[in-house]
Amino acid sequence: MNKSAQNIRRFSTKPKLPPCNFEPKPYKGLPYDDLTTIRRTNLNPALTTYYSKPLALHQGYKQWLFDIDGRRYLDMFAGVCTVSVGHCHPKITRAVSEQMEILGHATNIYYHTKIHEYAMKLSETLPGSLKCIYFVNSGSEANDLALLMARSYTGRFDVISLKNCYHGMTYQMMSLTSNNHYKYPVPGSAGFFKTLNPDVYNGIWGGNKCRDSPVQTDRICSCTGECEAGLKYIEQFENELNYQISKNGLAAFWAESIQGVGGAVQYPKNYIRRVHDIVKNQGGLFVADEVQTGFGRTGDHFWGFEAHGIVPDIVTMAKGIGNGYPLAAVATTPAIASGLAKAGHFNTFGGNPIACTVGITVLEIIGEEKLQANCKEVGTYLLLALLHLKSKFPIIGDVRGKGLMIGVELVEDSKTRKPLNPEKFLKIWEHCRDLGLIIGKGGLFGNVIRIKPPMCVTKEDADFTVDVIEHALIRQG
C-alpha cells in the first residue's frame, strides 16, 4: 500500500476537535443574511473577509471560538496574532469591570494611576534605556509615531525597511510597508527606501543553517563560520545606503523581528545584529517592530529583537499587548523622546484607564500562566510535527518560525519553490475551516499558512492542527 493510500485510510473519519468544557451563551443577534446585507451596504467595502462563506462569530473562550450557530473552532490565528492570553480571559474581564466602575476615561493631560502603573511595568520588560513609553491605539499608529520620533531626533529624513515587510496602513506606513496588496494607486510619501529581504528560503541566498529556529530550509549550506548568506544580504544593504540615501544620512532602519504578514519570514542569524551596527555607526536609529513578535510569543525571549542580540533605539508594539483591546505603545530612550518636545504631543485615548488596566493584566497573566514557556514548548512541538508532515507532502516547501509564530509555505514545485496556485491554496484553507481549524494566510502570493494562536494552546491542539492540515492536503491530492 502506498503512502497516499495509507494516509487516506488513516483519515477515513475527520479529525476530532480536542475536548472543551465550555458552553457558549445562546446567540441573540442579527441573522446571518442581515449581517451580509449590512456589511455590503453600511461597512467599508474594502474590508478583507476570510472564507467563501465568511465566519459569523459569537463568542470566544481561551483558544476556542464559537459561531452564531454554536459550532466550535480551534483558533490558531488569534485574530491576526492578537489574542495573546486567550479569548475573554476571566481575569481581564474582572479587571475591566472593576475599572469601569471607578474611571472609564481620562486623557493623559491628567494624572490617573493606571497609565503610570502600566508605563512602569511595561518599561521593566525592556532592556537598556528603553524606559520612555508613549501609549497609542494601534500598530500602524505606533509605527507612524516612531517615524516622527526618529526624524525629529536625528534631523534626517530617509528611512529604510525590508522588502516583504508590513508596518501598518496609515498613509505614511503604506510607504514604509513593502507589499503591493496594501498599496493604493496614489503617490507615496517621500523618503522611504527598501532593501533586499534576507529570506533564506525564497531569496537569492540561503542555506540550511541560517535560522534561529528548530527547523531549517532544504537549501544546501557550506558555511563553516559566519553565515555567508547573511553577509551577502548585509552587503546589499550597504549598497542601498550608498546609492539611495542622501548625504545627510539615514534617520532610521525598520524591521520586524520575524516578518508577520509577509509569511513568518526569518532572516540569517547574523543579519539584524550587523545591520543594527551599521545603522548606529552612521548615526541612524534602529526601530524594532514587535507588533507580532512581542510579549513572549517567540518563546526564548519576551521580545523578538532579543534573539538578534541587539537593543533597539525604538520599539513599537501592539496586537498581543492588549489581548484584542485597541492598545499599542512606542518605547524609546529619554534622549530620543526629547525630540518630540519640539512641539506639543497629545493623544486623546492613549493611556486610557481601561486600556492600561487591560495591558497590566495581560502582563500579569503571561507571568502567572508561564505563557512564554508554553510558546517555546508547544511551538517547538508543533514546528517539529509540521516538519515531519513536510517530509510526506512535497506541496509543503518550507516550515519556519519560532515559538508560536509559525509559517508553512505551500508550493507547486519544491525544487523551483514556485508558490502554490491561489485556488488550490484556498481549497486547503477552506477545508481546514470546515474541519474546525482557523488558520491565517500570508506572504506576497498568499501561499503561506500562518499559525499564531493564543499562547495558551496545548500539544493536543497542536496535534489536531497537524491532523487537519494533513487531511486537507490529502483531499487536495
pLDDT tens digits along 7-45: 444 555 789 999 999 999 999 999 999 999 999 999 988
The pLDDT score that the predictor gives to residue 477 is: 66
Closest C-alpha to 298, from 382, 405, 373? 405
Q: Identify how many contiguous H helices and E strands the chain contains and give both numbers.
A: 14, 16
Residues of the domain holding 45: 3-88+370-476
pLDDT (tens digit per residue) in 137-162: 999 999 999 999 999 999 999 999 99
Contact 428, 476 (CB under 8 A): yes
In this structure, what C-alpha cell is assigned to residue 144?
507612524
Both 198 and 257 in one domain: the answer is: yes
Q: Which residues of 117-126 are buried (b: 16+ CB within 10 A; e: fewer)?
A: ebbeebeebb
Contact 196, 204 (CB under 8 A): yes
Residue 2 clears pLDDT 70, i.e. is over it: no
CATH number at residue 262: 3.40.640.10
Residue labelled with grid coordinates 542601498 = 240
Both 82 and 222 in one domain: the answer is: no
Both 22 and 150 in one domain: the answer is: no
Both 256 and 332 in one domain: the answer is: yes
**Structural domain ending residue among the three candidates 343, 368, 393:** 368
pLDDT (tens digit per residue) in 391-450: 999 999 999 999 999 999 999 999 999 999 999 999 999 999 999 999 999 999 999 999
**Structural domain ending residue among the three candidates 316, 346, 368:** 368
In this structure, what C-alpha cell is assigned to residue 94?
474582572
Both 259 and 274 in one domain: the answer is: yes
CATH number at residue 36: 3.90.1150.10
DSSP state for residue 329 in the 8-state scheme: E
pTM, two decimals, is 0.95
Both 308 and 390 in one domain: the answer is: no
SS in 3 state form for 257-313?
CCECCCCCECCCCCHHHHHHHHHHHCCCEEEEECCCCCCCCCCCCCCHHHHHCCCCC
Both 82 and 223 in one domain: the answer is: no
**Structural domain ending residue among the three candidates 326, 353, 368:** 368
Neighbours of 131 (CB within 10 A): 16
- Residue 67 is which amino acid? D
The pLDDT score that the predictor gives to residue 48 is: 84
Both 363 and 374 in one domain: the answer is: no
Both 217 and 355 in one domain: the answer is: yes
- For the chain, how long is the longest CA-to-CA vector? 74
Both 219 and 362 in one domain: the answer is: yes
pLDDT confidence bin for 476, thresholds 50/70/90: confident
In this structure, what C-alpha cell is assigned to residue 418?
514556485
Both 336 and 272 in one domain: the answer is: yes
Both 151 and 239 in one domain: the answer is: yes
Q: Please tell me the total count of domains within the chain.
A: 2
